[in-house]
Amino acid sequence: MSENIWSNITKSDQYRAVNDLIIESNPGSNYYTLLVLSSVIIAAGLLLANSAILIGGMLVTPLLTPILLISLTMTLGRPFLLKKTFMVIIRSVVVVFAVSFLFGLIFAVPEDREFFSSVVFNNTISSAFLYFVVAFASGIAATFAWVRKKVTNMLPGISIAVSLVPPIALVGVWLAQMDIENARFFLMVFLLNFIGITMGSMIVFSMLKFYKVDDEVTADFNTLERQKNREEIERNLEEKKLEQKEQYENIDNIK
């Protein structure tokens, strides 16, 4: 049974998984729109101490796919691909932090602070380690579900279990309240979650021999980069045409 699970992966399955992961992790307008919306929902859910709203926000967030892509690039051992993806993670964290920090400044934290924090986490080292274990298992499950198209319906549940955005949102909210101790703790929780997902995902990518699609991954990244550069060139040309048109119109007006 185990042999069937880990070895029955075709070349087309590998390429589809890689291609879909790259496309879903591409930081376009759709990605950032969903990220901002999920940040708003989660920050509001935290301040309302409402776990149902939090779950809704975790379902919306697109942050899981770039982390899986980081695991893939680390498995392949390609530093320049890793750098591109890591910058997406950094920008995503900044967006979530900024939204939650703003919410923390505008809206008051519930008077029952202990209940507010315990909506998602208990502020103890043992609970942080348990969330690392959950993140590690979720990284394995998420990667396996991504590769196995038949079980992709598991991904929403995994997004809820892994709790990626709430710790960052709590960092922003607590810093807005000048509570450095709590902010530092939840930053540690996010880092543990990030490391746990990455480690679990790398194990699956390695066991499924994704290093064999190395050239295809590079080709896909290069294609996306060329497409991005081409779009920028086209935008610049359009801007220059508009500038020239305005200049000609000004000259005609002077005459």
Q: How many domains is the chain partitioned into structurally?
A: 1
Residue 246 lies in a domain: no
Q: What angle do CA 125, 50, 64 make, to 5 degrees?
A: 60
| Structural domain includes residue 237 | no
Domain that holds residue 128: 2-213
pLDDT per position as a tens digit, 39-59: 999 988 888 877 788 888 888
CA 226 and chain centroid, separation: 23
What number of residues does the chain have?
255
Residue with tokens 């920028």: 232
Residue 94 within a domain = yes
Q: What is the pTM of this model?
A: 0.73
Q: Considering the chain, what percentage of its residues have pLDDT values greater than 70? A: 65
Among 21-35, 45-59, 85-99, 121-135, the range of highest mean pLDDT = 85-99
CA angle, 196 then 199 then 201, to 5°: 105
Is 239 within the bounds of a domain?
A: no
Q: Is 220 part of a structural domain of the chain?
A: no
In this prediction, residue 238 carries a pLDDT of 64
**In this predicted model, what pLDDT tens digit does every residue of 128-181 receive, in sequence order?**
788 888 889 888 888 887 887 666 556 666 666 667 888 899 899 889 888 888
What tokens does 138 get?
């979720």
- Per-residue model confidence (pLDDT) at position 2: 45
Q: Is 92 or 122 the better-scoring residue by pLDDT?
A: 92
CA distance 34 to 156: 14
Contact in structure between 21 and 72 (CB atoms under 8 Å): yes
Question: Residue 19 pLDDT more than 80?
Answer: no
CB neighbour list of residue 148: distance below 8 Å, 6 or more residues apart: 13
CA 64 to chain centre: 4
Identity of residue 108: A
CA distances 40 to 24, 112, 229, Å, are 21, 21, 32
Asked whether residue 108 is domain-assigned, the answer is: yes
Residue 186 counted as domain residue: yes
Q: Is residue 8 part of a domain?
A: yes
